[in-house]
Amino acid sequence: MKLKYLKNVVTLEMDRGKCTGCGMCVEVCPHEVFRIEYKKALIGDRDACMECGACAKNCPASAVSVQAGVGCANAVLSKTGDCCCG
């Protein structure tokens, strides 16, 4: 079973017009949020995103954006605050 965070609150956005289909977001995402379809990446499971920022940091086309350092990723890494993922 895949881990889910709070439904419909993640800051993750994807501009498929900018996407080159390199697949880097698929490779670096620890929660398999992205998939490649018709030679472009798309967000397949948005609610699985922990907002770590790896996808945006590694996208050479700047097609992915996310407000890293908020939400569950920040709570887990800083060990402060409550997190919905336990």
How does pLDDT run across 9-61, given as a tens digit for each residue? 789 999 999 999 999 999 999 999 999 999 999 999 998 898 889 999 999 99
pLDDT on residue 10: 84
What tens digit of pLDDT does each residue of 57-86 get?
A: 999 999 999 987 665 555 666 665 555 554
Does residue 83 lie in a domain region?
no
Tally of domains in the chain: 1
Does residue 51 lie in a domain region?
yes
pLDDT on residue 14: 96
Does residue 8 lie in a domain region?
no
Does residue 73 lie in a domain region?
yes
Does residue 23 lie in a domain region?
yes
Query: CB under 8 Å to 81, separation ≥6 — which residues?
Result: 74, 75
CB 46 within 8 A of CB 34: no
Q: What is the pTM of this model?
A: 0.75
pLDDT on residue 5: 60
For 70, phi then psi, to 5°, come to -120, 170
Does residue 61 lie in a domain region?
yes
Does residue 20 lie in a domain region?
yes
- For the chain, give the mean pLDDT: 83
Domain that holds residue 24: 13-78
